[in-house]
Amino acid sequence: MNFALLADGFVMSAKKDGMVNMGGFLALRNQELADACKNLLIITEGFTTYGGLSGRDMEALAIGLVEVFQPDYLHYRIVSTTYLGEHLNKLGVPVILPVGGHAVYIDAAKMYPHIPLNEYPGQALVGEMYRVGGVRSVEVGSVMFGKYDDQGNLIPAARELVRLALPRRVYTQSHLDYVIEVFEQLVKDKNNVRGYKIIKETKFLRHFTAHFEPLQNKMVEQAVI
């Protein structure tokens, strides 16, 4: 099968499977559109042979695209990701199965069924992971993909996920064991977690810059009243 016929274009970030800190590329079928992108690139970033990247980054990317196919590296990465996903699943964490090679995805709506979607259960899980264990992750749910209707009501995303991405050649098994220990605590305390409300956001890409405020326990609020 000629996979080139399945798309008019694609963009790739090389930070994951390119095994570099910076870089990526854009590929397009339409020559006119490609030329327009090249012209814009020259104005904003640099010539097409480097696209704003330093020589060191270009060399690292070239090497990374070769090393990423080494069997030993691929085996360790797949095994490590599977190890994390399977152990979280045994704890009762609602992991998306089967586990892939890039990241472990958690269904935050199932983890926190008591948190309404308009209170962002994915963001709540992201916050708890960092608060309890200093573990950084990213919400892939209604903060990232949710929209508003004409009345300003949230239209939730299709899924409320949290992504635990594994950077290339960074984490050892002891790091992953620590993440599992953090989730042991999160599972024990999951019924006490509350959601968030957005207090500041941009028109586009709010998941990068939005400000949040934690919502209080409703039982506590009623007692105060």
- The pLDDT tens digits of the residues spanning 54-90 come to 999 999 999 998 998 999 988 998 999 999 999 999 9
Measured torsion, CA atoms of residues 209, 211, 212, 213, in degrees rounded to the nearest 10: 170
User: Residues 6 or more apart from 149 whose CB is under 8 A from it?
Assistant: 155
Q: For 14-33, how does the pLDDT look when each residue is reduced to its tens digit (9 = 90+)? A: 887 888 888 888 999 999 99
- The ranges assigned to domains in the chain are 3-67, 71-224
The CATH number of the structural domain formed by 71-224 is 3.90.1150.10
Q: Write out the DSSP string of 92-140.
A: T--B-SS--SSEEEEEHHHH-TTS-GGG-HHHHHHHHHHHHH----EEE
Would you say residue 209 has pLDDT above 50?
Answer: yes
Cα(16)–Cα(32) distance, integer angstroms? 30
**162 φ/ψ angles, rounded to the nearest 5 degrees:** -125, 130
pLDDT tens for 129-143 read 999 999 999 999 999
pTM for the model stands at 0.82
Q: What is the pLDDT of residue 2?
A: 62
